[in-house]
A and B are shown apart, each in its own frame.
Chain A
Amino acid sequence: MQAESFLPLPSATFHILMAIASEDRHGYAIIQDIEQRTGGALRLSAGTLYRSIQRMLEQGLLVETSERPAPELDDERRRYYRITPFGAAVARAEAKRLTDLLSMACASGFAPGRA
């Protein structure tokens, strides 16, 4: 499956991928991470989160991990999600798409930056 075939990514999916880019997280941590990173602008509901996660699991963008974090950080009732290499590739492709789009917007004067 080509990473490009998933583009454009739904915004919730892209945010989830970013939230688990550097470390495995459980659902609530993902919501919190997204909320912080967007300064409270995006606050995923539980339904949206798990609906996205279910679809991303099927698409192979992330996996549920069996490794647990360090015991003092672990919340054993929770499920942790880890980005797959494919998920990372899809996220990179989406980022590239957005960058290209942005430079085009700059060129036509819609956005600040180098022309």
Chain B
Amino acid sequence: MLFYRLLLHLYPTSFRQEYATEMCGIYARRRRETSSLALPFLWMAAIFETLWNAAAVHADVLRQDLRYTARSLRRSPGFALTAVLVVAIGVGANTAAFSLADRTLLRPLPFPQSERLVKLWEAVPGYTRMELSPANYRDWKNMNHSFEAMGACTWSDVNLVGQGEPERLSTAMVTSEILPMLGIQPVMGRVFSGADDVHGASGTLLLSYGLWQRRFAGDPAILGRKLLLDNETFIVIGVMPRGFYFPNRDAQLWTPLRLGPDNYQDRDDNWLQTIGKLRPGISLAKASADMAVVTAQLERQYPKEDERTYANVYLLRDDVSAQSRMLLLALAGAALCVLLIACTNLANLLLVRALQREKELAVRTAIGAGRERLVRQLTTESLLLALAGGALGIVAAGVSLPLLARLAPNSLPMEQASLFDWRVLLFAGLLTALTGIVFGVAPAWRVCRNSDLTALREGARAGGGKKERLRSALVIAEVACSVVLLVSTGLLLRALWKLQGQDPGFRAANVLTMRTALPTPKYDSTALRSEFYNRVLGQVRQLPGVTQAAYISFLPMSMTGGIWPVDVGSHVVGRTAAHTASLRFVTPGFFATMRIPLRMGRDVAESDTKDRPSVAVVSESLARRYWPNQDPLGRHFKMAFADHTIVGVVGDIRVRGMEIGSEPQVYLAYKQVDDGSLTGYIPKDLVIRTDGSSAALAPEIHRIVRAADAQQPVSNVQSMDEIVASTTASRAVEVRVLAAFAGIAFLLAALGIHGVLSFAVSSRTREIGVRMALGAGRGSIVRMVLWRGAWLAAAGIVPGVVLALYAGRTMQALLAGLKPYDTATFLAATGLCLAMTILGCVLPAWRAARTDPMHAMRLE
């Protein structure tokens, strides 16, 4: 019998209470009629029958509740709409934040056994993530015991010519180990084998799916086709599948990386991105320990080149910059705050509604509805509201994701996330259900617990003191959350302004930039290059609206590498940050074009040719570092295999963007380099200063370049302003999103305060009437309401400020040197909160003051 009684618990309580006794009676009779041999059959039958019927009864109840809910929500559309919007905001913000964080921080990379893929970096004091030199790469690969395979890759953009308009293509050069290590098969053809990356083998290449479709219209006969890249012939040996990205989303084709004897000469020439695959069972820690042994051994062998050089090993998955990670975490935290506020608002709304319906609920109790049945009814209602809000929120997230996607770094080898995949939908669904249940059941339970007949008494005051305390607590939580959000947003906003307000060292306005990357070996000859530059620059300077133009190896803020050790003889030379500088070759006029101030001496000149001693223009910080309080002009230093004489000193610029500090800069004359050496530093970025009058210069310059060399593509047309802004772009987007979140939170909290106060006022109408009848003035009534509002705000602001201090300290790394307890920000945020309180108080206070004592007392 116990067995059957337990089974009956599958039915809704109301049903069980009604019929359990009778059902047990029937079961008992059945049992008496059944022989003990047939008992198992009776049990089985009872189980199946109960499962089926209990489900049906639940469905009946649900149908009833839904009908009832629909009726009652139709009667109060304002409430329904507000509740749905509140949930939509909370779920929408979190769905968007989750889908972004999921893609950037959580989701595994789309490679088999991706948890064994790692990235290896060289680390020296001052630099934690430095590419490997080929010699160190070779030795690490041969000496380690932790990796099943190790491969290297690097960037080498190429000009694709002979196929219509010449085009600049992002290319990754990879050693033959890389693609098999990633475990991705081509859709057509084969990947590189060991035979492809030996020195002197004929050129082979792999096309990305996108390039194959775009440039070759998905030609199925593409295999074996010869393509001309930088005047070298390459044979297409395969096409990689759609959605394959490596090493990041930019690469459009892959060529073999061939390391020859020349590459192994200089152990300090770091340019290889290195990927390894851990042996099965080897942990990241073990591999790091193993690499420490390897690097220690190499340091003993090469005490000068490998001085204090260590290996940093990260999971490929985690190769996201600390800043991106923290920005996303801050975003997720803010979204959570918004959800919390939205939920407390929802709970508040439902509580008010339940209190207003106290009488109705009491009547239903009186005519026999059980408490469980009422709670269930109210829960159905809140779940329905949450579901509608959740659906709306997912749509909102879908609409806003393209904006948010700019927060995700481009460096991960994976596709842009589609929003509506199952993980995100599951997350949104869980969030919605949780919101509906947790914040719906609590108020329902709260009300139904006391739903006895007291509420039926005429004139009973709606909402007891206890309930008001709960509602006040909810509002206090909202205020606290909004303080945290407002302060965090304020801090990040001030940090952004601070960064953007920094002097980059040059004037970016009215500077247009573009890239004409001259291919080698075609342009190995310095003389040939000079001819090209002079022709292009000469004609560009003639264009109307152009005031100055020049070439440089790499634009500031677009390429942050090109760092070399500086040797001034007396100092210890090492690769540590204290002894390096960034190296660029420039044509005369670069500093004037960029408005980089010349402090001393002269610019490089056309007369600085190969047959004359090499001259250098250095930045002030370099001069200060080696010759403090001395005249740096005429001093010598060694860098990049040659000796240079300082002829000029210029102001420092922020080579690494607005976010981080930069090494000192060294500029060399574009003609003073041997043919075919330092080809990576061939000037390719054209900077043009205009007077702002001419809008469409790019087509004109295109024409000039084509006239100089018909096979030379022009790429990366950007204004210098755009480049500067892009270095703080992800932060700017983040701040905008946070500001939107904070704005929403602010409004919701104001709404919450307004709700509590107006409810308090309306439920105390009689009390206010009595007070007024006894002589209280309107002023004192208004003061009473305002006082209550101020109390709520203060109670929220105090814990909010404490939490905000904590949040500020957590994201200190993002604050660009701003103190996390920045007084101005805190004052502004608390001021806003007070303003919000007053905003929320105004209407209830006004209504209270207008109470007509006679009318209010007549209600008695």
Residues of A within 8 A of B (CB): 26-28, 31, 45-51, 53-55, 58, 77-79
Q: Is B15 an interface residue (CB 8 A)?
A: yes
CB-based contact B19/A50 at 8 Å: yes
Binds A, one of B25-33, B325-333, B638-646, B662-670: B25-33
Show 28 A/B contacts (Cβ-Cβ < 8 Å), sorted by A: A26-B22, A27-B26, A28-B25, A28-B26, A45-B45, A45-B46, A45-B53, A46-B22, A46-B26, A47-B11, A47-B23, A47-B49, A47-B52, A47-B53, A47-B54, A48-B49, A50-B15, A50-B18, A50-B19, A51-B56, A51-B60, A53-B19, A54-B15, A54-B57, A54-B60, A77-B21, A78-B25, A79-B22
Alpha-carbon gap, A1 to B60, bound state (A) = 19
CB-CB < 8 A to A26: which residues of B? 22
Q: Is B50 an interface residue (CB 8 A)?
A: yes
Residues of B within 8 A of A (CB): 11, 15, 18-19, 21-23, 25-27, 29, 45-46, 49-50, 52-54, 56-57, 60, 64
Q: How far is the CB of B426 from chain A (nearest CB, A)?
A: 33
CB-based contact A55/B21 at 8 Å: no
Alpha-carbon gap, A50 to B49, bound state (A) = 12
Besides A28-B26, A45-B49, A48-B53, 10 more A-B contacts (Cβ < 8 Å) are A46-B27, A47-B11, A47-B23, A47-B50, A50-B18, A50-B23, A51-B57, A54-B15, A54-B19, A54-B57
Alpha-carbon gap, A27 to B23, bound state (A) = 9
Q: How far is the CB of B71 from chain A (nearest CB, A)?
A: 16
Alpha-carbon gap, A51 to B15, bound state (A) = 9
CB-CB < 8 A to A46: which residues of B? 22-23, 26-27, 49
CB-based contact B25/A77 at 8 Å: yes
Q: How far is the CB of A40 from chain B (nearest CB, A)?
A: 13
**Residue of A with least CB distance to B30:** A46
Alpha-carbon gap, A93 to B602, bound state (A) = 109
Alpha-carbon gap, A104 to B11, bound state (A) = 42
Alpha-carbon gap, A31 to B11, bound state (A) = 20
Alpha-carbon gap, A55 to B54, bound state (A) = 13
**Residue of B with least CB distance to A78:** B22
Main secondary structure of the interface of A (DSSP, over half): helix
Q: What are the 8 A-B residue pairs with the smallest beta carbon separation, nearest first?
A: A47-B53, A46-B23, A45-B49, A46-B26, A50-B19, A51-B53, A47-B49, A27-B22
Alpha-carbon gap, A47 to B26, bound state (A) = 10
Chain B CB within 10 Å, residue with most, of A45, A54, A55, A79: A45
Q: How far is the CB of B27 from chain A (nearest CB, A)?
A: 6
CB-CB < 8 A to B52: which residues of A? 47
Alpha-carbon gap, A49 to B18, bound state (A) = 13
Main secondary structure of the interface of B (DSSP, over half): helix
Q: How far is the CB of A115 from chain B (nearest CB, A)?
A: 41
Alpha-carbon gap, A28 to B29, bound state (A) = 9
Among A45, A50, A58, which residue has its beta carbon within 8 angstroms of that of B22? A50
**Residue of A with least CB distance to B53:** A47
Among A28, A47, A55, which residue has its beta carbon within 8 angstroms of that of B60? A55
CB-CB < 8 A to B23: which residues of A? 46-47, 50
Known A-B contacts A47-B49, A47-B50, A48-B49; A31 and B26 likewise in contact (beta carbons under 8 Å):
yes
CB-CB < 8 A to A55: which residues of B? 60
Chain B CB within 10 Å, residue with most, of A50, A55, A58, A79: A50
Chain A CB within 10 Å, residue with most, of B15, B22, B23, B25: B22
Alpha-carbon gap, A108 to B64, bound state (A) = 42
CB-CB < 8 A to A45: which residues of B? 45-46, 49, 53
Chain B CB within 10 Å, residue with most, of A46, A53, A55, A77: A46
Alpha-carbon gap, A79 to B54, bound state (A) = 21
Q: How far is the CB of B34 from chain A (nearest CB, A)?
A: 12
Alpha-carbon gap, A81 to B49, bound state (A) = 23
Alpha-carbon gap, A28 to B23, bound state (A) = 9
CB-CB < 8 A to B21: which residues of A? 77
**Residue of A with least CB distance to B4:** A46
CB-CB < 8 A to A47: which residues of B? 11, 23, 49-50, 52-54
Q: How far is the CB of A54 from chain B (nearest CB, A)?
A: 7
**Residue of A with least CB distance to B23:** A46
CB-CB < 8 A to B57: which residues of A? 51, 54
Among B18, B27, B46, B49, which residue has its beta carbon within 8 angstroms of that of A54? B18
Alpha-carbon gap, A58 to B60, bound state (A) = 11
CB-CB < 8 A to B56: which residues of A? 51
CB-CB < 8 A to A51: which residues of B? 15, 53, 56-57, 60
Chain B CB within 10 Å, residue with most, of A27, A47, A48, A58: A47
CB-CB < 8 A to A77: which residues of B? 21, 25
CB-CB < 8 A to B25: which residues of A? 27-28, 77-78
CB-CB < 8 A to B54: which residues of A? 47
CB-CB < 8 A to A27: which residues of B? 22, 25-26
Alpha-carbon gap, A58 to B25, bound state (A) = 24
**Residue of B with least CB distance to A27:** B22
Alpha-carbon gap, A31 to B49, bound state (A) = 15
Alpha-carbon gap, A57 to B759, bound state (A) = 40
CB-CB < 8 A to B27: which residues of A? 46
Alpha-carbon gap, A53 to B19, bound state (A) = 10
Alpha-carbon gap, A65 to B23, bound state (A) = 18
Alpha-carbon gap, A27 to B50, bound state (A) = 17
**Residue of B with least CB distance to A47:** B53
Alpha-carbon gap, A58 to B61, bound state (A) = 11
Alpha-carbon gap, A114 to B751, bound state (A) = 76
Chain A CB within 10 Å, residue with most, of B25, B27, B60: B25
CB-CB < 8 A to B19: which residues of A? 50, 53-54
CB-CB < 8 A to A53: which residues of B? 19
Alpha-carbon gap, A105 to B53, bound state (A) = 33
**Residue of A with least CB distance to B60:** A55
Alpha-carbon gap, A58 to B11, bound state (A) = 18
Alpha-carbon gap, A50 to B15, bound state (A) = 9
CB-CB < 8 A to A28: which residues of B? 22, 25-26, 29
**Residue of B with least CB distance to A28:** B26
Alpha-carbon gap, A52 to B15, bound state (A) = 12
Q: How far is the CB of B5 from chain A (nearest CB, A)?
A: 12
**Residue of A with least CB distance to B26:** A46
Alpha-carbon gap, A55 to B58, bound state (A) = 12
CB-CB < 8 A to B64: which residues of A? 58
CB-CB < 8 A to A48: which residues of B? 49, 53
Alpha-carbon gap, A51 to B11, bound state (A) = 10
